[in-house]
Chains A and B, each alone.
Chain A
Amino acid sequence: MSTHTQPHARHRIGLAPLAVLALLLYAAFLIYPLVQSFITSLTNRNVLNATNAFIGFANFAELVHDERFLRSLGFTLVVVLFVTVVSNVFGLLFAMLLNGPARHYKIMRTLVFIPQVLSGVIVAFMWRSILTENGLLNSVLQGTGLTQQPISWLGTPELATLSICVVVSWMTIAFTTVVYTAALQSVPAELHEAARMDGAGPLNRFRNVTLPMIAPGTTISVTLTLITTLKLFDVIAVLTGGGPANSTKSVAFYLIDVAFTSNRFGYASAIAMVLLALTAVVAYGVTYLLRRREAHL
């Protein structure tokens, strides 16, 4: 690749200023804030009280006893686990069902992706008008006599958590379906044909042909689902606002709360470090495990 001859060396400066500009902007708006966030996590910085002293790992020690934080951590893990499993299982099933040859399958695939095109805010408002106490779902349930009293889909901690899990899975399935469709379409038809010739049944072919062949797609889909769900914010803000009784505050949501409502920048930064560590462990850990699995299949 590096076969450039000396006489052209003078031209090589050409793009360096643009590259440096890109790097400077990236340093200012990503690298510096990241470092700043880490440094702040070791302080009691608070703009309202005008404190900004180095306190070591005291913020992290406080986190361990902070019930709201622990609750947000538990809620986040529940949602992430639910969404990752449900959206990848259904995404793969949808993809297999919608991966038909006829033209109208393409229309179906187009329709199924639409939830990904809408903003989380719009999706959440759509679902809120369906799920809210006097919303469309309860009006249908009561109208058909299935229930007498309206069900509080967003009003109790358990149901609100379930509602968020379902809405986020719904959005995410739109994404995983397309990824798995792409993965399925990269499997050569001859492989299935050969397995059929060898007398392999549908389940057997799914296990031994389809799953191994789509393994790279699975890695991408699972990893991106995890990372996206970990930073979930807009859907919660609209659907429940973190309630009832803080039961649906994710770590990302609690972090914003502490930073911009309580103005405890130091403590918020400590939460940010936990969220970052969680994301890094998940992103690298899952990718590593799935890659190893790819190799074994």
Chain B
Amino acid sequence: MSALLLNRTTRGRALAAWLVTVAFIVPIYIALVSAFKSQSQILSNPLGPPVPFTWENIGNALSRPDALVQTGLLNSIVVTVATLLVLIPLAAAASFWISERTGWVKSGLIALFALGLMIPPQVVLQPIVSLLQSVGLANSYPGLILSNIGGGYMSFAVFVYVGFLRTVPRDVIEAARVDGASELRVWWTIVMPLLRPATATVGIFLGLWVWNDFLNPLFILGPLQGQTITTGIYQSLGQYSTDYGQLFGIMFLAALIPVVGYLVTQREFIHGLMSGASKG
């Protein structure tokens, strides 16, 4: 009897949980099915399933004369990969170096890097644009990538690495030093592998943030230099917004990489968030 009752409350709870979840993701469901429905289907029955199923929206999105999706995705990949490839080793090395300091040097450097965590990007945007202009990197991909590397993302990476280094046992590192390994070698062959979980967190989150960034590409690249997928959607779709079929087709293609990336790296993703949240 009591087992039956328990079973019923468990089921009731699961049902409630599913109802809330489904209601919450209705906008995503609409966007997903609309990518495979005709314009008239989308408008007459937004919640209906994509029957009959059509690839036309995806086809239209991919055959635009401005190649918005293809160039946008390519540019976003270049910017994201280049930023991470430089930022990750640089931030890891700096964090390891900082963690080996003592006293006010260490706490001062940590405080300095922490500053970037709370500065709204709008506050520093105009001086960054002026700075890039004065060194001839305005409206360029190297300019955008450099400002990604040196800006608030660096703060996040250092914050994660320095926090993680507190938990790394020192004896392995000391043993390598005693064996006479150079400091660069210790860092690359011993510290970097130890830092792998932190690197996963940094790579996943910064990858997502750089990919989804809107403000910096919009103003640092400007409209003439081609666009990342995020700014490209913004600048091209303003006038197309009544063509829902194509709009949802483009959004589907633009969201594919981050969503699949999230689903694949989900464990590390949630773990990164959780360790951040529980450490406080």
Binding site for B on A (CB under 8 A): 1-4, 8, 11-16, 18-19, 21-23, 25-34, 36-37, 40, 94, 97-98, 100, 102, 104-105, 108-115, 117-122, 125-130, 132, 134, 136, 139-140, 143, 170, 173, 178-179, 182-183, 185-186, 216-217, 219-221, 227, 230-231, 233-234, 237-238, 252, 255-256, 259-260, 265, 268-269, 272-273, 275-276, 279-280, 283
Contact = CB atoms under 8 A, between A and B. Distances in A.
B233 A121 contact: yes
Given A1-B102, A255-B122, A118 B183 contact: no
Which DSSP category, helix, strand, loop or mixed, fits chain B's interface? helix
A269 B178 CA distance: 52
B164 interface: no
Interface of B: 13-14, 16-18, 20-21, 24-25, 27-28, 30-31, 34, 42-44, 46-47, 89-91, 93-94, 96-98, 100, 102, 109, 112-113, 115-116, 118-128, 130-131, 146-147, 149-152, 154-155, 158, 170, 174, 177-178, 181-184, 186-187, 208, 211-215, 219, 230-231, 233-234, 237, 241-242, 244, 247-248, 251, 254-255, 258-259, 261-263, 266, 270, 273-274, 276-278, 280
Given A29-B146, A126-B251, A40 B127 contact: yes
The list of the 9 closest CB pairs from A to B, nearest first, reads A14-B183, A29-B150, A25-B150, A119-B212, A33-B127, A33-B124, A182-B274, A231-B120, A22-B94
12 contacts: A18-B97, A25-B146, A34-B119, A37-B123, A136-B42, A170-B24, A182-B277, A233-B122, A237-B234, A256-B219, A259-B125, A276-B123
B25 A102 contact: no
Nearest to A176: B277
Contact of B102 (A2, A16, A216, A221): A2
Contacts of A15: 93, 96-97, 183-184, 187
Nearest to A124: B234
Contacts of A265: 126
Contacts of A260: 126, 219
Contacts of B154: 22, 25-26, 30
A108 to B, nearest CB: 4
Contacts of B126: 33, 37, 40, 259-260, 265, 268-269, 272
Nearest to A185: B274
Given A25-B146, A108-B18, A279 B94 contact: no
B14 A121 contact: no
Contacts, number: 277
A220 B277 contact: yes
Contacts of B261: 117
Contacts of A237: 214, 234
B267 to A, nearest CB: 10
Which DSSP category, helix, strand, loop or mixed, fits chain A's interface? helix
Contacts of A280: 118
A14 B182 contact: yes
Contact of A129 (B124, B170, B241, B276): B241
Nearest to B251: A122
Contact of A97 (B17, B131, B212): B17
Contacts of B89: 18
B259 A114 contact: yes
B65 to A, nearest CB: 21
Q: Output the residue of B127, B147, B261 with the most chain A CB within 10 A.
A: B127
B138 to A, nearest CB: 13
Contacts of B263: 110
Q: Output the residue of B17, B183, B187 with the most chain A CB within 10 A.
A: B17
A143 B115 CA distance: 52
Contacts of A8: 177-178
Nearest to B259: A117
A97 B13 contact: yes
A33 B147 CA distance: 11
Contacts of A256: 122, 125, 215, 219
Given A25-B149, A117-B258, A122-B254, 17 more contacts: A18-B90, A18-B97, A22-B93, A29-B149, A33-B124, A94-B20, A111-B21, A114-B259, A119-B211, A130-B30, A178-B273, A178-B274, A183-B277, A275-B122, A276-B119, A279-B119, A283-B118
A271 to B, nearest CB: 9
B124 A170 contact: no
B31 A126 contact: yes
Contacts of B47: 140
B122 to A, nearest CB: 5
Contacts of B247: 125, 129
Nearest to B214: A234
Contacts of A36: 127, 130-131
Contacts of A31: 112, 115
Nearest to A39: B127
Given A104-B14, A136-B42, A220-B277, A118 B255 contact: yes
Contacts of A170: 24, 27
B47 to A, nearest CB: 7
